[in-house]
Structure 1
Amino acid sequence: MDRGTVFATVGTTSFDELIEALLSDSFLQILHDKGYRKLVLQIGRGRIEPVAQETRCGVEISSYRLKPNIQDDLMAADLVISHAGAGSVLETLALNKRLLVVVNETLMGNHQTELAENFAGEGFLFWTTVKNLPHDFANIDWLKLKKYQPGRPDLFASYMDNFFGLS
């Protein structure tokens, strides 16, 4: 079954280890075997150069460094693989996309692991490390994910307006 597009994002920083893992022939073959035919990479500020377009292992690959907004890429994706940045995680979950978070273990004071563990513990996403990416991805049961229900900050704002007599 063709599942279409995988969008991978590292945000505005550098996470070359993840990009290298995603571009490895072994991972591309797993993507192909799972029915994915397109991989779009947002590669951030790393040392890896963007690829306009190429096909390897039956997967069409394209990449870019940064865009003002990745909303279109997220919406077009059947699956998102992301660094564990809070913004990327929340934006993806709000669109109810399948999400695999890859924690950057090289960061000092790694809050990313805590964020990923908490959301995974609630059943909203899966998470892994670069080292375990191929194995974990090959064995994920996406049917176990729960639908994320984003918060409603507008209700809190309305409550506060009423409380202070502003509405």
Structure 2
Amino acid sequence: MKSAFVTVGTTSFDDLIACVAAEDSLRILKNLGYNRLVLQIGKGTVVPEPFSTESFTLDVYRYKDSLKEDLQQADLVISHAGAGSCLESLEKGKPLVVVVNEKLMNNHQLELAKQLHKEGHLFYCTCSTLRGLLQSMDLSTLKCYPPGQPEKFSAFLDKVVGLQK
């Protein structure tokens, strides 16, 4: 059983939740062989109705103490572009699609997503391009992120947001 996991972290990203829970997105995931979609919706106001059929299950929750179990079970992670969520997914060796929230001002998330994509660790998109990316991406092209180097990630993040040269 293939599972996709969507996380928005501790924030709210209603556009992402609405996009990925839409019927055409669910159809794309089913066509890609996914049988389960788990949505971690944070404090958002969009709350899709969970369901289960013979061929597909949609689970929804706001928060858990840890995302570790959901990340371990996921064959694909779709995440907001928060540094913590990106790092946690990459360290677990999971294929990652980062969806950048275009409504955020001074969006350092976009810079982070672009750089990690440039290095081959993830794919990134916006809500409007997510469906197309899901249909065209080749997860086998992604490179593993070297685990256990949070200081390098921290230095990289400082450089991206302009705190270090």
- Determine if the TM-score, normalized by the shorter chain, exceeds 0.5: yes
Number of the residue aligned with 1:124:
121
Q: Are 2:92 and 1:92 equivalent residues in the alignment?
A: no
Runs of 5+ unmatched residues, structure 1: 155-167
Distance 1:26 1:120, change over 3 A: same
Q: 2:68 aligns with which of 67, 71, 74?
A: 71
Identity %: 48
Mapping of residues 1-167 of structure 1, within 5 Å: 4-49=2-47, 51=49, 53-55=50-52, 58-152=55-149
Distance in 1 between residues matched to 2:139 and 2:101, nearest whole Å:
22
| Superposed displacement of residue 153, structure 1 | 5.8
The residue identity in structure 1 corresponding to 2:47 is E
Q: Which moved more, 1:35-44 or 1:145-154?
A: 145-154
> Structure 2 length as normaliser, TM-score?
0.86
**1:24-81 deviation line (CA, Å, top 9, x unaligned):** 1100000000000100000010112364x30379431011001111111101101100
**1:80-136 deviation line (CA, Å, top 9, x unaligned):** 000000000000000100100000000011011000000000000000000000011
Runs of 4+ deviating beyond 2 Å = 55-59, 150-154
Q: What value does the CA root-mean-square deviation take over the aligned residues?
A: 1.7
> Structure 1 length as normaliser, TM-score?
0.85
Distance 1:28 1:73, change over 3 A: same
Runs of 5+ unmatched residues, structure 2: 152-165
Count residues with an aligned counterpart: 151
Distance in 2 between residues matched to 1:58 and 1:124, nearest whole Å:
30
**In terms of Rg, which structure is larger?**
1
